[in-house]
Structures are given as C-alpha cells and as structure tokens.
Amino acid sequence: MILVLNVGSSTIKYKIFEGEVEIESGLIDRIGDKPVFYHNGQKESVKVDNHEEGIRFIKKYFETKNFPIKAIGHRVVHGLDVTESKLINVNVLEKIERASPLAPLHNPPELAVIKACNSFGVPQIAVFDTAFHQSMLPVAYTYALPREIIEKYSIRRYGFHGISHMFVSFNEPGRVISCHLGNGASIAAIKNGRCVDTSMGLTPLEGLVMGTRTGDLDPGIILFLLNQGFSPHELDKMFNEKSGLLGLSMESNDIRELVASDRAEAKLAIDVFIYRLVKYIGAYISVLGGLDQLIFTGGIGENEWRIRKRVVESLSYLGAELEEKRNFSNQEIISSETSKVLVKVKKTNEELMIAREVYRILGDSVKNSY
C-alpha cells in the first residue's frame, strides 16, 4: 500500500492506494486548535497539537487497520528549480527548506511531516507542485529585474498546481491549455505533455483572479500603498486573503454564491474573473501557435457550467463550440461534434498522480507489494 500525504498549515490529508485503487482517505483538520479526525464518514475529536503528533496519530490508526504501508508520497508545494519528483534524502530536505520563504505556510509543515514519517521506515518520495513547470524556457520564466537580484534571491516564475496540470494533461498530445479553477486558480500552456508557460509566478499570487487573491497586479500599486502607510504584513493579508472574488464582490469568494447573487458587485467580480481567464487563454494560444484542446479542472472548472459556457463562447473565432447538454451535466467531453477545439472537463486527482510518481520512481519493489 502507498500512503499519499497532502499537508496544509493546519491540516494533514491522506489517501491510501493499492495500485491505482483508492482504499481509504482521511483528514486531520484544525491541528493545534480543536483538531478533528475525519475518516470513513466518521468525525472524532483528537488531541493533536502539531503536525508531528498528527503523523504519530495516523500511524497508530493505520496499525489498528493493519495497513502495510510500503512507501509514502508527499505533495511539496515549492521545490525551487527541481524538475521532477525525488526520493527524499538530505539534499532534497535542504532544497525544501531553502524554498520555505517562498511557501511559508506549506513547506515548513511539509518538512516536519516528512521527518516524522521516518518512523514508518519506508521510502519517501517528494512530488513537487512546481516541478511540472520547470520545462519552461528562460524566456517564459525570467522576470525583467536586475540580473544580480534574480540570481541572489532565485527569483523566477516557478508556477504551481503543477501536479493537477500534470494529471489532467497526462497522455494528452498536441497543444493543450489546462485551466485549474478553484479558490486558487491557474492556467498552463502545454505542448505534447510539457509545460510551456503558466500563470502563477514566484509565488501563487500572480495570474488569474482567485477566490481571495488579487492575481496580476501593477507593482506600482504595492509601492503606492506602502507610501500610504500600509505595512508589508497588511498588504500580504490584503493581497492573499481579502482580494479576488471576495474583495471585488464584498460578498463571497464562493463562485456559486456569486452566480446566484443579483448584486452588481457580484456580477462584476465574475466578469473580471472570466475576462482575466479569457485574456490568458488568448495569450497562450499565441504562445502555442494554436489550440487543440482546452481542459477545465478544479472545483469551479469541474462544476460551474455557466463559467465554462462563457469562456468557450469567447473562443468562437477558433471554431470552438459547446454541446450544451454535455456542458450542463459536467460530462468529460463538452465540445460539439463539429467543434474545431476539443473541450474537456477532467476531475483532477493530485493524490493519484503522486501515487503514480511513487510507483514510477520505486518501480517493482513497490508494485510487487500489492
């Protein structure tokens, strides 16, 4: 069995796989603040004050279930310029630690969990959210800053949601644009399985309008607000937690609530969200030299037919056409038979992608264990 862990600042999500079959999933939520353990449709309060204690609790639980864990796959948000998943060793741990200032809410708890998982005594694999995007050429990932600043601080476009973009574009040939749309949102231009460009940058703040994040922003706005007396901490909170759909609508970061609202502010928030997405798609069509396939994924991409409809209608100049009934019912292929662009809705599964990477790296030693 393969254990896949997806760690947040106050959560530990797990899934257990045998081959590509999911055996069980669970979550410890609100670590350090009235933590709760969810598993098999059950919910129970637990005493877990930090991530290390969370792993000890999960390990004991697995022992009661007689789960023979043979390897562990970890989602790691930031890996700097690491280009592929890695068997975890001292060098990999150092790389994750060096990237921590760029992902302060994720990399440190991920490091703590990796170290705590040494108690399992099995190989551990780090699957980096940034790795898929490292096939970008310098022209795509380089910011026009002084060279010495770029090199000193490792400033470049890294991109995120890479595990999701990799999963939905797996074995998809040609020119593909993948739209991961959720509370966090990003878009990737992919050619024959390799990332050419992506919307998130040094951090997950750049790019599309998101649930609570600004997306693209004139750097002069930051300087202006600093001169108005806002502190860096206040701007960080504003740009990451109070902006995006929530900030524009003054109502919600949930697209379902905004679609149902009759307030002008909610309508504008949705319009800006779609406009930014369509603009990025247009740019990436130029980068790719055309478009063979458009993929929607993530919570919004998989479920919000009205957003997909407006986006695809904006691409009518390419000959893209929807089949309305398929789109309404969230089927996998939602383009019409005569559409010149294949349009798909694909449910992302980052944990399954991580499990595949574990099998790929460890090979027969793990495959033969189930």
In the annotation, is 129 catalytic?
yes
* Structure tokens given for 323: 């089949």
**Selection from 113, 77, 115 nearest residue 96 by Cα:** 77
The amino acid that residue 96 corresponds to is I
The SS3 of residue 363 is coil
Residues 6+ apart with CB under 8 A from 3: 14, 15, 16, 62, 67, 69, 71, 72, 73, 120
Catalytic choice (29, 49, 129, 197): 129
* Residue 355 tokens, joined: 């499990």
**Positive or negative, the Cα torsion across 182, 134, 272, 212?**
positive
Question: Are 259 and 304 spatial neighbours (Cβ–Cβ below 8 Å)?
Answer: yes
**Bridge partners, residue 295, by sequence:** 178, 344
Distance separating alpha carbons of residues 83 and 258, to the nearest angstrom:
38
Which among 95, 302, 273, 290 has a CA at the least distance from the CA of 199? Answer: 273
- Is residue 128 within 8 Å of 93, Cβ to Cβ? no
CA dist., res. 180 & res. 162, Å (int) = 10
Q: What is the dihedral of CA 119, 122, 128, 129, to 10 degrees?
A: -80
Which is nearest to 102 in space by CA: 181, 158, 186, 183?
A: 158
**Is the distance from CB of 14 to CB of 25 less than 8 angstroms?**
yes
Q: At what angle do helices 264-288 and 305-313 cross, to 10 degrees?
A: 50
* Tokens found for residue 277: 């997405």
| Catalytic positions | 129
